Structure formats: C-alpha cells, structure tokens
Amino acid sequence: MGIGSILAIYFIIWWLCLFAVLPFGVRSHAEAGVAPHPGGDPGAPVRLGLIRKMLATTLLAAVVTAGVIFLVRSGVVRLEDLPMPFDAKGY
C-alpha cells in the first residue's frame, strides 16, 4: 500500500469521522434558553466549536486509518476479498 493510497483512505475516513463527530456537544438556542438572532432558527447551535471538532476528527481518523492499514498489511482484509464493481455475471 503506497503513500497515495494511504492518503486517499485517510481523506475518506476523515470526512466520515467529521460527520460522526459534528453533532457531539451541540446545544441549540432552544436547549440553552437563549433567544436566536432575528430571523435565526431556534434549532441552530449556540456555539459550534468547529476547531475542536476538526482536531478530534483528525485524531479519530488517524486511529481508524492506522487500524485499516494494520488489517490490510496483516492480511486479514485482502483486495481479493472485496467485491469489485461489474464483477457479476451478465456485464
């Protein structure tokens, strides 16, 4: 597995982890008891904390990517075991 493959896998895992981490710790204006700005949605977050979430995502994605690399290099998961597109009969 080359560095390009590892970076591509990390990029995909990073985005998946970001969407998993985004809802953690979010409090809406309604939950916090704070009036939203005029025209604002009461369900909008009071404080998003995006920098913290991006750092948490980076660490989580690094751990998950390391796990994927370990599974591939140890032979537990092989490319031959994964289904390939257009591999079914009739194509």
Between 54 and 87, where is the model more confident? 54
pLDDT of 82 reads 74
Domain boundaries, the chain: 3-30+45-79
What was the pLDDT predicted at 91?
52
- C-alpha torsion 50→55→12→19, nearest 10: -40
**Dist CA 3 CA 5 (whole Å):** 5
Residue 70 has pLDDT above 60, yes or no: yes
pLDDT-derived band at 11, boundaries 50, 70, 90: very high
pTM of the model: 0.74
